[in-house]
Amino acid sequence: MEQEKKEQEKSSLEQEAKEAGNQKYQERVKAVTPTHNLLWQMVKAFVTGGVICCIGQAVLNYATNSAGIDKETAGAWCSMLLVLLSVVLTGFNIYPKLVEWGGAGALVPITGFANSVAAPAIEYKKEGQVFGVGCKIFTIAGPVILYGIFTSWVLGVGYWLLSHS
């Protein structure tokens, strides 16, 4: 009987120590977890994405109005120049700082996709062309490409089935 009582006391003490440890852990997590102001993050993303879109619109306007290029070709030039600008800024470590500040506003446009391809290539270039750049270049963008193609295939099959029924 006394043995059971000792075991219960020991179990109770272990449980209290565990709960105290969990509480200390939760306090530590709360202390180190950054707090975010959602409204301010949304404003920064809107401004960042808006500036990127304004740059793209300026390229389109220049190409169609001043250079006399048709809309379709101007759109292709706009995309290529935005991707080039993103890759160059990634190479100079400027685009990651822009992403840190602007969040989704810098990640969602085509420039964010270009950054997601260029960043791993730059990071792993010291490992060589094959095992560094070749293996790691699509580390971030690969899943986006894979699931984008898969989703478009599924939707295409669904569209084909619905249009032939």
The string of pLDDT tens digits covering residues 18-60 is: 887 788 888 888 888 878 889 999 999 999 999 999 999 999 9
pLDDT tens track for 98-145: 999 999 999 877 888 888 888 888 777 778 877 777 777 778 778 878
Question: In the prediction, which pLDDT does 124 show?
Answer: 77
Q: What mean pLDDT do residues 138-156 have?
A: 87
- The single residue listed with the structure tokens 């080039």 is 84
What distance in Å separates the CA atoms of residue 134 and residue 39, rounded to the nearest whole number? Answer: 40
Q: What mean pLDDT do residues 149-161 have?
A: 95
Question: In the prediction, which pLDDT does 41 show?
Answer: 94
What distance in Å separates the CA atoms of residue 89 and residue 48, rounded to the nearest whole number? Answer: 14
What distance in Å separates the CA atoms of residue 62 and residue 66, rounded to the nearest whole number? Answer: 5
Using the predicted structure, report yes or no on whether residue 158 has a pLDDT greater than 90.
yes
Comparing 64 with 128, the larger pLDDT belongs to 64
Question: In the prediction, which pLDDT does 11 show?
Answer: 77
Q: Is 94 left (phi over 0), alpha (psi -120 to 50) or beta?
A: alpha
Task: State the CB neighbour count (10 A cutoff) for residue 138.
Answer: 16
Tell me the whole-structure pTM to 2 decimals. Answer: 0.66
Kindly indicate the confidence band of residue 81, based on its pLDDT and cuts at 50, 70 and 90.
very high
Span between the terminal Cα atoms of the chain, in Å: 78
What distance in Å separates the CA atoms of residue 94 and residue 100, rounded to the nearest whole number? Answer: 10
Using the predicted structure, report yes or no on whether residue 66 has a pLDDT greater than 80.
yes
Q: Rounded to 5 degrees, what are φ and ψ at 125?
A: -65, -25
Using the predicted structure, report yes or no on whether residue 155 has a pLDDT greater than 90.
yes
What distance in Å separates the CA atoms of residue 91 and residue 117, rounded to the nearest whole number? Answer: 11
Using the predicted structure, report yes or no on whether residue 1 has a pLDDT greater than 70.
no
Question: In the prediction, which pLDDT does 49 show?
Answer: 94
For 145, the token pair is 């490409």
